[in-house]
Amino acid sequence: MKISVLKERRPGETRVAATPETVKKLIGLGHTVTVEGGAGTVAGFLDAAFTEAGASIAGSAAEAASGADIVFKVRRPEPGEIAALPEGAALIALMEPYAYPAEELAALNAKKIAALSMEFTPRITRAQSMDALSSQSNLAGYRSVIEGAQIYGRAMPMMMTAAGTVAPAKVFIMGAGVAGLQAIATARRLGAVVTANDVRPAAKEQVASLGAKFIAVEDDEFKAAETSGGYAKEMSPEYQAKQAALTASHIAKQDIVVTTALIPGRPAPVLITEEMVKSMKPGSVIVDMAVSQGGNCPLSKADEIVDVGGVKVAGFSNLPARLPADASSLYAKNLLAFIPLITAEGGALTLDTEDEVVVAMLLTRNGATVSERLK
C-alpha cells in the first residue's frame, strides 16, 4: 500500500502522524510511504530523517496524497485538505467525531473516503497499543501540571532552609482518568501535597496508589458511576450538588487545581463555579483541560490565561501539542499498531472485516456514514 503522511495545518498543531522510526517499520512491512515536506519539522523530525528512513518527500499535500491507499493525519482534514484526498482512500486521524460538521462529512462521502476515527478505538485489551486518546491524554496530564507550576510561580516541594521553610504546594486533580492519574504522579514527583477526586469508584484505589488523598461523596450513586467501557457516567443533579459542596470547601485551600473531566459527545461538566474561583487565594492557579469542550470552569477561555481577582484560570486546548516530539512518537506508534487490522495478505488495504476495532472506528465508507454513533 501507499501510505501518505500530511502536514498539520491547524493553528497551534505541532504534531505529525509518523516519525522516521515508524516509517522504517511501515516500509519493512512492505508499504511505501510519502511524507509532505515539512510535516515533522516543528516536532523535530526533519525531512532528511524521513528520507533516510526510506520515505519519499512531496512538495504539497496534493502531491503527497496522490495515489495513496491510506492517509495519516493527526487532526481531521479541513475542507481544503479534503480536496487533496484521493477518491476511495482510507483516512486515519483524530477526527473529533462528535463535533464533525455535516458539510465536511458530506465532502468525505462525496469522495467515498473511508474515514477511521482514532477516538473510537475500543478500550479492550488487544487495542491498547492503538489507543491514541490514552497516549495523548497521558502526556496532556503531565503537561497540565508543568504548565500549572510555571504559572503558579512558587516552589512545589517543601524546602527547609536557614532562611526559613517553604511550604509545599497543595494540588487538587479533578478527575482521575488517564490524564488525571498522570497529573497526580507528576505533581507528586514535584513534591506537592496532592488530593484528587473522580466519580468512578475504581479511581479511589488508583489515586491512593500514587500517594494522593481521594476526595469524593461516596454514596450509592458513586458506587455505580462507571460505564462498561471504563468511562465516567454523567451524574445526577443531586449528586453533582453534594460533590460541589465538598469541592467548594476543599478548593478554597488549594494552590493549583487541574480539571480533566470530559464526557464523550457532551459538553464538559462544570466542576468549578465562579464563586469557587473567587474563594481561592490570590496567586492560585486553575488549569482547565476540558476547555475545548466548553470547560470545567465557566471562566476559562481556550488558549488564554484569565485573571480573576489574582487567581489565574488557564485553558489549554491542545496540551499534547506542547510536547510535539513525544506526542508524535506515541501517536505514530498507535497508527503503526492499527495498520495490520486493515491489511490483507500481500499488503493490500482491506476494510471488509468483522473486526470489532475496525467496525467501531469507521465513520464513513463508500459514500455513506456508517458509524452508528454518528447516525
Backbone angles phi, psi at 229, to 5 degrees: -85, 0
Q: What contacts 24+ positions apart, CB below 8 Å, involve 60-67?
A: 60/36, 60/84, 61/6, 61/7, 61/36, 63/36, 64/4, 64/5, 64/6, 64/34, 64/35, 64/36, 65/4, 65/6, 65/89, 67/2
Q: Annotated catalytic residue: which of 231, 266, 355, 373?
A: 231
Q: Which residues contact 230 (CB under 8 A, 6 or more apart)?
A: 123
Residue 169 burial (10 A CB sphere; 0-12, 13-18, 19+): buried
The gap from C-alpha 313 to its chain's centroid, in whole angstroms, comes to 20
Going by the DSSP 8-state scheme, the letter that residue 119 receives in this structure is: G
Q: Annotated catalytic residue: which of 69, 131, 198, 255?
A: 131
Catalytic, 231? Answer yes
Going by the DSSP 8-state scheme, the letter that residue 355 receives in this structure is: -
Is residue 112 a contact partner of residue 55, using CB atoms and an 8 Å limit?
Answer: no
C-alpha separations of 226 from 240, 264, 373, 374 in Å: 15, 13, 19, 22
Q: Which three cell numbers stand for residue 336?
A: 503503526
Catalytic, 123? Answer yes
Catalytic, 143? Answer no
| Count of C-beta atoms within a 10 Å radius of residue 73 | 27
Q: Which amino acid appears at position 190 of this protein? A: L
DSSP assignment of 247-278 equals HHHHHTT-SEEEE----TTSPPPP-S-HHHHH
Q: Which amino acid appears at position 344 of this protein? A: A
Catalytic, 182? Answer no
Q: Annotated catalytic residue: which of 47, 56, 66, 123?
A: 123
Q: Annotated catalytic residue: which of 134, 188, 279, 322?
A: 134
The full length of the chain comes to 375
Catalytic, 134? Answer yes
Q: Write out 71-109 in H/E/C secondary structure.
A: EEEEECCCHHHHCCCCCCCEEEEECCHHHCCHHHHHHHH
| Count of C-beta atoms within a 10 Å radius of residue 159 | 13
Q: Annotated catalytic residue: which of 56, 66, 128, 279?
A: 128
| Angle, helices 132-152/324-338, rounded to nearest 10 degrees | 170
**Any idea which residues carry the catalytic annotation?**
123, 128, 131, 134, 231
